[in-house]
């Protein structure tokens, strides 16, 4: 297969470049300690597990348009703490606020993210396409030292549409004077990143580190970001 020459690359941020799970766990462990949850009978590993499950559920509801973003912030820790028999809504809101301010300051990247960006940066304009909160995504990119690699960051807030809507991809194309056929979208989510980009007629790279079985049409599939160096 002959390699296509792209004019620009679109990247997802969370779980594709910024190591959401590791960073989130670091922040949660610190807050678990700060809030004295151990003393209240909540084991840290169980707490992390509950958070991961509930957070994933809420993000899925958000990604499919069933709840607004605020609901994630307002409800996730109340739900998590409830499962550990702590029913304190005000405390859960404070916890949520602390989590939202501390987690994005963590610096862990997905393996090979930095070296791959270093490799791609001189060759292509790079853009972030993300459903996250604008100000939060900016902090993550700055703390992890990758912000300078990117020509633009398109958030759902800015575009007025969120992935998997093809409109957010079309917005990013328009903003940067690009045609769909000139761009490849790289992401870890089959629905939002790959399905959405495919609907907008972009080529796709599915980052699938857990080797999840699927039927989705993808242009390329990788299990490590290092493989991008042989594709692009």
- Residues near Mg ion (CB under 5 A) are 12, 14-16, 188-189
CA 157/CA 5 separation, integer angstroms: 30
Nearer Cβ to Mg ion (42/113): 113
Least distance (Å) from Mg ion to the CB of residue 24?
13
Minimum CB separation from Mg ion for residue 19, in Å? 11
- Helix (H), strand (E) at residue 32: helix 20-34
Nearer to Mg ion, 17 or 28 (CB): 17
Query: Of 156, 192, 159, 197, nearest to 175 (Cα)?
Result: 159
Nearer to Mg ion, 86 or 202 (CB): 202
Task: In angstroms, give the least distance from the CB of 142 to Mg ion.
Answer: 18
Measured from the CB atom, the residue of 32 and 166 that comes closer to Mg ion is 166
Compute and round to an integer the Cα radius of gyration of the chain. Answer: 18
Q: How far apart are CA 130 and CA 127, in angstroms?
A: 10
Rounded least distance, CB 20 to Mg ion, Å: 7
- Tell me if 200 sits within 8 A of 170, measured CB to CB: yes
């Amino acid at each position: 297969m002959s390699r296509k020459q792209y004019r620009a690359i679109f990247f997802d941020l969370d779980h594709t470049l910024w190591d959401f799970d590791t960073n989130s766990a670091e922040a949660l462990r610190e807050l678990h300690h700060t809030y004295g949850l151990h003393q209240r009978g909540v084991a840290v590993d169980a707490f992390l597990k509950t958070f991961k499950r509930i957070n994933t559920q809420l993000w899925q509801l958000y990604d499919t348009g069933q709840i607004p973003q605020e609901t994630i912030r307002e409800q996730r820790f109340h739900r998590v703490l409830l499962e550990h028999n702590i029913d304190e809504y005000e405390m859960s809101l404070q916890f949520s606020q602390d989590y939202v301010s501390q987690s994005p300051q963590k610096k862990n990247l997905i393996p090979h993210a930095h070296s791959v960006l270093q490799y791609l940066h001189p060759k292509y304009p790079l853009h972030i396409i993300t459903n996250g909160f604008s100000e939060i995504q900016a902090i993550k990119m700055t703390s992890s030292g990758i912000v300078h690699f990117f020509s633009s960051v398109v958030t759902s807030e800015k575009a007025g549409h969120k992935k998997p809507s093809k409109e957010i991809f079309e917005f990013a194309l328009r903003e940067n004077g690009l045609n769909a056929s000139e761009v490849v979208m790289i992401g870890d989510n089959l629905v939002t990143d790959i399905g959405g980009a495919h609907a907008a007629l972009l080529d796709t790279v599915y980052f699938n580190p857990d080797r999840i079985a699927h039927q989705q049409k993808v242009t390329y599939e990788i299990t490590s970001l290092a493989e991008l160096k042989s594709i692009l």
